[in-house]
Amino acid sequence: MTDPAEAAGRRRQEATLNSDLVRRARDWQPQDPAPETRAELGALLEGGDEAALRERFGAKLEFGTAGLRGELGAGPNRMNRVTVMRAAAGLARVLGPGRHVVIGYDARYNSDVFARDTAAVLTGAGLRVSVLPGPLPTPVLAFAVRHLVADAGVMVTASHNPPRDNGYKVYWGDGSQIVPPVDREISDAIDAVGDVSGLPLGSPGDDAWTALGEEIVASYVDAVTALPIGDARDLRVAYTPLHGVGAVTLTGAFLAAGFEAPVIVDAQAAPDPEFPTVAFPNPEEPGAMDLALELGGRIGADIVLANDPDADRCAVGVPLPDGGHRMLTGDELGALLGEHVIRNTSGGERLVATTIVSSSLLGKIAAGYGVRHTETLTGFKWIMRAEGGDLVFGYEEALGYSVGTDTGLPVHDKDGIGAALTVAGLAARAKRDGRTLLDLLDDQARRYGLHATSQLSVRVDDLSLIAGAMARLRATPPAELGGRKVESADDLREGAGGLPPTDGLRYRLSGGARVVVRPSGTEPKLKCYLEVVVPVTGEVSEARARAAADLDALRADLSAALGL
């Protein structure tokens, strides 16, 4: 029985809080099926923590083209079971009864719980559901949607976000991430969902709920081992899944293709939602690759591979003569894989695609082979919808690649395992010829000019600073950056070049250089993508030094123009 004095004290405490926040929290609490988040809310109410309540109830996670992603916790502005059940109910309303949805999940906190809740809501609404057999890479889910001829897919993952985050990605029947207007239709349907405690729920024993077996993973492995890998197999590989779910599937794919099993960083081999050995589980972040590179040096690996935690991205390191390693940039690996796919596929309608913020080199490679090329907005949801031919390869500079064959792409999304397998075949062939991936990069620089890319990212606490910087650039476009004349300026907000409108600016500079400026869609950052092109007339190393200096000059001038 509750102590009357204690209850009175709690009421006095709540009276000092914002009454609207208290009402929202009190309305939310009874429908939450998770004891831990109900207790979290109770503690915040009793403790009178208005700031924490405002963080959770002053806004909500918005459902967009990437679905949902946010920190775990109670309330509509956090990832929790209520948020997930509302998302599933909204998806069910848009799809309608009888439709088939495939659900996958990674090994983050609550991923399996959120997957089960999604399946329960969808089957309760009359949809058919297939659930992957365990924590698996995102590309397996994207593959399964098309392989099983489903109407949609859901992947519970926060990719390479911090440990306290989780997310909810929705795929459509083509196996690609959703784009407008479907995202808005689902968002509107979510907003119309009431108290989730009244939703009808299915269970694993229902006829509409199918637990898939390992045969779906075997089918995925069959698909990626059919990629243009070549016939060379002598390769020693060091690998890290960064505490994610990639190790078992990647190892199985390597063995099925005839490679020796990669040597895995032991401390990072098993899935661990805490990501204990890295500050940030993203292979692009400083320090994330340290253990893998150390292992590569110790075992004499020919290449070092990494996936991010849901294995949809791939990073590659190559040993140097002095015993160190060099990580390839996303654009460098994109150019190598792109040319490899073009050389090893056939057909007159082949198309390769990348984004407006990635290097322009892929376009020059495609032109050299008489293959079609196009640029899209950032994100694989756009790359996979590239028009103008039969897409056989797509990539974005943030380590995302989809590799195809003459018959198309087995995965209509980023696929870190298929990319790893393909680059292993490329590296093995180079090794057989007495060369390395770095030699292949030098070959491209001599043929097409050295294309060097870099970024300038500015993180802010006040988002109005980003809006102000974009407004200044629009009002007064720079005439020169890094000693290069600005030859044209495109306001991407107007849908330049036939692209859908987006908040961004693109500058084309003399000498083939390019700058793209855009606000980040997921973080409080202004992101700037820089590229310079330097002809190679002597040693490639000399061209690389000139390019590095040119990028530094671009970065300095752009930073001054931004005024941040």
Active site residues: 159
134-145 exposure pattern, b = at least 16 Cβ within 10 A, e = fewer: bbbbbbbbbbbb
Which residues are CB-neighbours of 471 under 8 A, at least 6 positions away?
none
* Inter-residue contact 180 to 65 (CB < 8 Å): yes
Q: Is 515 exposed, middle or buried (0-12, 13-18, 19+ CB in 10 A)?
A: buried
How far is the C-alpha of 555 from the C-alpha of 544, rounded, in Å?
Answer: 16
Q: Following DSSP, what letter does each residue of 505-547 receive, concatenated? A: EEEEEGGG-EEEEEE-SSSSEEEEEEEEEE--SS-HHHHHHHH
156 closest CA partner among 96, 216, 101, 75: 101
State how beta strands 325-327 and 314-319 pair.
antiparallel
Torsion angle of the four alpha carbons 93, 94, 99, 100, in this order, in degrees rounded to the nearest 10 = -100
The H or E element spanning position 88 is helix 81-95
Annotate 175-203 with three-state secondary structure: CCECCCCHHHHHHHHHHCCCCHHHCCCCC
Annotate 396-448 with three-state secondary structure: ECCCEEEECECCECCCCCCCHHHHHHHHHHHHHHHHHCCCCHHHHHHHHHHHH
